[in-house]
């Protein structure tokens, strides 16, 4: 330790407090949260249901709990909701009660049973989307009751107090009168965005986007049921400007018009996907009231038309960590004209909203076990979580995992070798699309190296065997191309000595990252309960081979979990639960980012990590 902590991180971020919820069935649930969260949010984040219809805005007054031990000062809202006796007895609105110390909280029996969905890494989420609809039948105005149209509508909605903008006011008067005063109010978070004639409460959709540098994925969700309706993915149309974030940032620095073209291409990709999932799901785009988006800092800034240059040059500065109050239209997505957009905040230039979404989806912030989250890619983000909080860093792994800088490397597309298995006399290949192999993608590269290691055709230093060191059946595959030693997989597809070196550099960067994070937090590697491999590449990686090449710590295999597309799952979570979304903002306060590359022992450790275990 001994290094100065990031000045921005409040001391409290490093410790947690303990909340004990006593449920009405007699069970107790103990959870650890950072100080400063509300009793309601802490419960929501841990799947503990507390009554509420407003979703935690302090307007429905249904989330009463009793603080049985510990103190939470009453707020002015409590003063209006409870008598002095009840206040003294510990009754509080859970959504206003800020936990600053250990508390025991009695939760009354639920009056309604909330719907729940399973999202992310086995996360049970209580369905409380920001999008809410309320059907009301209004009393017609008379000379004795001259309330304005807006007051009449809002008075009839007893649990929410939304604000109304000009667009909805323009529709309000005509719709109320045409619909004979029977309308459905459409509310997103704290804003009334529309009034629809009749009862449309059964119809509410959202689209979750994972805006990747390479691939963009959209999932259309039915927000009334919490279920996916349609999904689609396509390549990010920004591809012609470069394969990775740095080349796209460079493009904007060399050509003044590139930034706006990149923005338009991002919008086009998102808009096309939105149209596609709506068509596939048979949903009118006008019934999509909110979108959520997770992307890395560069993709996010480009899509919003924010100059990305400061992200790409030292000291790597984002425009903002959180971007509030966006409309879907700001991202070029043509759904309901007043639809809102929730965008995941970034921790920094290299730990973006995609990582924050992934942490949320994998519950990294609400688990007391020691867990290691590794998003494998050109820039590899690593987060260590424990009861003490979250510590993050980024490791520059380079493009090996994307198939770049590898002689026969390619993307994980048709013809790419994605699995490799060696027997004493043959090589078994898994090829995407079951065709003849055209090249080697990241997971195939890792597999090939791991298998060569296992069979002794590669030594711990990374040297490929000579033909005479190999079993007779495999020896002919150890040949030379342009004077370089290679191992032929099939036909023209081979792994070269230099490819092995590239992989060694990449995995050493990652291994140095998590080693130093463990060191930085005083954690023993044996205490790591779980390693989550995230990102599209991470999902395809064989845990056994990841251990074999030393990419991840040497743990029992069941502890190494392919988490899948956790960024996309995080975006879904944000649509399904407003409280989960606020959890993403809380995460920003709780994660400590450490820059490892300027540590004096970084280089020494990196060099020792180049060798295979």
Q: Which residues contact a copy of itself (rule: CB under 8 A)?
A: 4, 7-8, 73-76, 79, 98, 141-151, 163-166, 169-170, 172-174, 177, 304-307, 309-310, 314-321, 323-326, 330, 346, 348-349, 593, 595, 598
**Is 11 or 425 the residue whose CB approaches a copy of itself more closely?**
11
**Is 135 or 593 the residue whose CB approaches a copy of itself more closely?**
593
Q: What is the rounded distance in angstroms from the CA atom of residue 323 to the CA atom of residue 342?
A: 8
**Is 146 or 257 the residue whose CB approaches a copy of itself more closely?**
146
Beta-sheet strands, E only, within 94-181: 103-106, 116-119, 123-126, 131-137, 163-164
User: How many other C-beta atoms are found inside a 10 Å radius of the C-beta of residue 32?
Assistant: 20
Q: Which helix (H) or strand (E) holds 518?
A: helix 497-520
Structure tokens at 588: 């920003």
CB of 425 to a copy of itself, least distance (A): 53
Q: Which helix (H) or strand (E) holds 543?
A: helix 543-548
> Does residue 106 have a cis bond before it (omega within 30 degrees)?
no
* Sign of the Cα pseudo-torsion (98, 102, 108, 111, in order): positive
Structure tokens at 29: 């649930």
**Is 177 or 490 the residue whose CB approaches a copy of itself more closely?**
177
With beta carbons less than 8 A apart as the criterion, state whether 449 and 496 touch: no
CB of 582 to a copy of itself, least distance (A): 15
> For residue 323, which of 298, 341, 311, 339 has the smallest C-alpha distance?
341
Q: What is the rounded distance in angstroms from the CA atom of residue 289 to the CA atom of residue 296?
A: 24
**Residue 163: φ, ψ to 5°:** -90, 155
Q: What is the rounded distance in angstroms from the CA atom of residue 584 to the CA atom of residue 321?
A: 11
CB of 393 to a copy of itself, least distance (A): 13
CB of 122 to a copy of itself, least distance (A): 33
Q: Which residues contact 126 (CB under 8 A, 6 or more apart)?
A: 44, 47, 49, 114, 115, 116, 577, 579
CB of 152 to a copy of itself, least distance (A): 8
**Is 319 or 539 the residue whose CB approaches a copy of itself more closely?**
319
With beta carbons less than 8 A apart as the criterion, state whether 579 and 40 touch: yes
CB of 309 to a copy of itself, least distance (A): 8
Q: What is the rounded distance in angstroms from the CA atom of residue 110 to the CA atom of residue 103?
A: 20
**Is 270 or 346 the residue whose CB approaches a copy of itself more closely?**
346
Q: What is the rounded distance in angstroms from the CA atom of residue 480 to the CA atom of residue 462?
A: 16
**Is 150 or 156 the residue whose CB approaches a copy of itself more closely?**
150
**Is 148 or 247 the residue whose CB approaches a copy of itself more closely?**
148
CB of 334 to a copy of itself, least distance (A): 17
- Which SS3 state, helix, strand or coil, does residue 212 take? coil
**Is 141 or 415 the residue whose CB approaches a copy of itself more closely?**
141
CB of 559 to a copy of itself, least distance (A): 32
> For residue 343, which of 79, 537, 352, 252 has the smallest C-alpha distance?
352
If 0-12 CB within 10 Å is exposed, 13-18 middle and 19+ buried, where does residue 18 land? middle
User: How many other C-beta atoms are found inside a 10 Å radius of the C-beta of residue 608?
Assistant: 12
CB of 205 to a copy of itself, least distance (A): 24
CB of 330 to a copy of itself, least distance (A): 6
Structure tokens at 606: 């990196």
**Is 480 or 601 the residue whose CB approaches a copy of itself more closely?**
601
CB of 159 to a copy of itself, least distance (A): 20
Q: Which helix (H) or strand (E) holds 498?
A: helix 497-520
CB of 178 to a copy of itself, least distance (A): 11
Structure tokens at 462: 């990374």
**Is 199 or 595 the residue whose CB approaches a copy of itself more closely?**
595
Q: What is the rounded distance in angstroms from the CA atom of residue 549 to the CA atom of residue 445?
A: 11
**Is 111 or 142 the residue whose CB approaches a copy of itself more closely?**
142
């Amino acid at each position: 330790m001994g290094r100065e902590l990031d000045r921005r991180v409040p001391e409290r971020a490093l410790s947690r407090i303990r909340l004990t919820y006593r449920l009405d069935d007699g069970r107790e649930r103990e959870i650890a949260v950072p100080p400063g969260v509300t009793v309601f949010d802490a419960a929501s984040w841990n799947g503990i249901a507390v009554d509420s219809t407003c979703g935690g805005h302090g307007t429905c007054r249904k989330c009463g709990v009793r603080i049985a031990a510990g103190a939470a000062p009453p707020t002015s809202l409590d003063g209006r909701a409870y008598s002095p006796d009840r206040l003294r007895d510990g009754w509080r609105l859970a959504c206003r009660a800020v936990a600053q110390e250990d508390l025991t909280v009695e939760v009354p029996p639920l009056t309604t049973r909330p719907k729940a969905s399973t999202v992310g890494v086995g996360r049970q989420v209580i369905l409380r989307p920001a999008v809410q609809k309320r059907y009301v039948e209004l009393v017609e105005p008379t000379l004795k009751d001259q309330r304005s149209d807006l007051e009449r509508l809002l008075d009839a909605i007893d649990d929410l107090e939304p604000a109304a903008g000009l667009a909805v006011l323009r529709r309000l008067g005509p719709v109320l009168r045409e619909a004979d005063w029977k309308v459905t109010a459409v509310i997103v978070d704290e804003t009334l965005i529309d009034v629809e004639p009749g009862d449309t409460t059964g119809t509410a959709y959202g689209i979750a986007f994972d805006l990747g540098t390479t691939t963009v994925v959209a999932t259309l969700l039915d927000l009334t049921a919490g279920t996916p309706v349609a999904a689609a993915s396509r390549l990010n149309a920004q591809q012609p400007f470069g394969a990775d974030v740095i080349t796209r940032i460079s493009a904007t620095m060399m050509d003044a018009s590139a930034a706006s073209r990149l923005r338009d291409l991002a919008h086009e990709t998102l808009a096309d996907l939105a149209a596609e999932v709506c068509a596939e799901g048979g949903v009118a785009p006008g019934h999509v009231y909110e979108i959520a988006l997770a992307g890395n800092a560069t993709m996010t800034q480009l899509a919003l038309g924010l100059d990305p240059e400061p992200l790409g040059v030292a000291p790597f500065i984002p425009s903002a960590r959180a971007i509030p109050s966006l409309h879907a239209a700001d991202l070029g997505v043509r759904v309901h004209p007043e639809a809102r957009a929730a965008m995941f905040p970034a921790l920094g230039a290299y730990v973006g909203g995609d990582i924050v979404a992934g942490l949320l989806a994998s519950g990294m912030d609400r688990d007391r076990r020691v867990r290691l989250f590794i998003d494998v890619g050109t820039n590899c983000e690593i987060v260590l979580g424990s009861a003490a909080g979250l510590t993050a860093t980024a490791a520059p792994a380079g493009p090996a995992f994307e198939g770049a800088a590898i002689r026969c490397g390619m993307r994980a597309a048709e013809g790419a070798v994605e699995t490799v298995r060696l027997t004493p006399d043959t090589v078994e290949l898994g090829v995407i699309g079951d065709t003849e192999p055209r090249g080697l993608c990241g997971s195939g590269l890792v597999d090939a190296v791991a298998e060569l290691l296992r069979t002794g055709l590669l030594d711990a230093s990374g040297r490929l065997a000579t033909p005479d060191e190999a079993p007779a059946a495999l020896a002919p595959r150890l040949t030379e191309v342009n004077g370089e030693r290679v191992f032929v997989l099939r036909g023209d597809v081979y792994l070269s000595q230099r490819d092995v070196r590239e992989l060694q550099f990449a995995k050493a960067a990652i291994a140095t990252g998590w080693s130093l994070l463990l060191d930085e937090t005083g954690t023993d590697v044996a205490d790591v309960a779980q390693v989550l491999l995230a990102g599209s590449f991470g999902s395809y990686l064989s845990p056994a081979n990841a251990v074999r090449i030393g990419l991840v710590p040497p743990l029992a295999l069941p502890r190494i979990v392919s988490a899948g597309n956790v960024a996309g799952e995080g975006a879904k979570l944000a649509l399904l639960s407003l409280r989960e979304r606020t959890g993403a903002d809380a995460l920003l306060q709780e994660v400590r980012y450490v820059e490892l590359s300027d540590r004096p022992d970084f280089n020494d450790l990196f060099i020792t990590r180049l060798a295979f275990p």
